[in-house]
Structure 1
Amino acid sequence: MPTKAERRVALPAGLLPLLSQKELETYYQVSDFTLLRWIEKGLPTEPFGGRGRRFDLEKVRAWMAEHGEQLAAAS
């Protein structure tokens, strides 16, 4: 089974409006466990008709700006 580093997904050219969970993990270089903890703490997700979650990068950046220090302290 490939390691996390081996299964990185390149971000789309020009960044699509909504990112998948795997793309957001790659963008922030975090594990799926860490991202799930952030979601539990209020990381904004977008409604999506298919499986999985989608994320608006601008909303995520704003949330990270507000909560980044708390998340770093909790790590």
Structure 2
Amino acid sequence: MSTITALPAPLLKQQQVQAHYGVSDWTVNQWVRKGCPVVRLPNGHRRFDLAEVKAWMAEQSATGREQRRRQSEHALSQRSA
């Protein structure tokens, strides 16, 4: 009897990530520069694991919310002073 294991999700091309999020190639390139996980193939092409990209996006969103909260608190403290 053999065991069935889940296969990893296929890696997406940049154009597929762009279509999924409705963004331009420039935006995806900026995400990569900011640390978005990417797999480099031996031929130099990039591929994206959508689950990893989604996790990175969630992390970025949480970080952004925290930064906005701190900025808001700072602005309020400046007004009180």
TM-score class, shorter: 0.5 to 0.7
Flag structure 1 segments of 5+ consecutive residues without an equivalent.
Answer: 1-15
How many residue pairs were aligned? 56
Task: State the Cα RMSD in Å.
Answer: 1.8
Matched residue type, 2:28: L
Q: Any stretches of 5+ residues in structure 2 without a counterpart? A: 1-8, 69-81
The structure with the greater share of residues assigned to helix is 2
Kindly state the Cα deviation for residue 51 of structure 1 after the two structures are TM-superposed: 4.4
1:32 aligns with 2:8: no
Which residue in 1 is equivalent to 2:58? 65
TM-score between the two structures when normalised by the length of structure 2: 0.61
Q: Which has the larger radius of gyration?
A: 2
Q: Which runs of at least 4 in structure 1 moved beyond 3 Å after TM superposition? A: none
Q: Quick one: which amino acid aligns to residue 31 of structure 1?
A: S
Q: TM-score, normalised by structure 1?
A: 0.65
CA contact (8 A) 1:44 1:63 kept: yes
Kept in 2: contact 1:21–1:52 (CA 8 A): no
Match among 38, 46, 53 for residue 45 of structure 1: 38
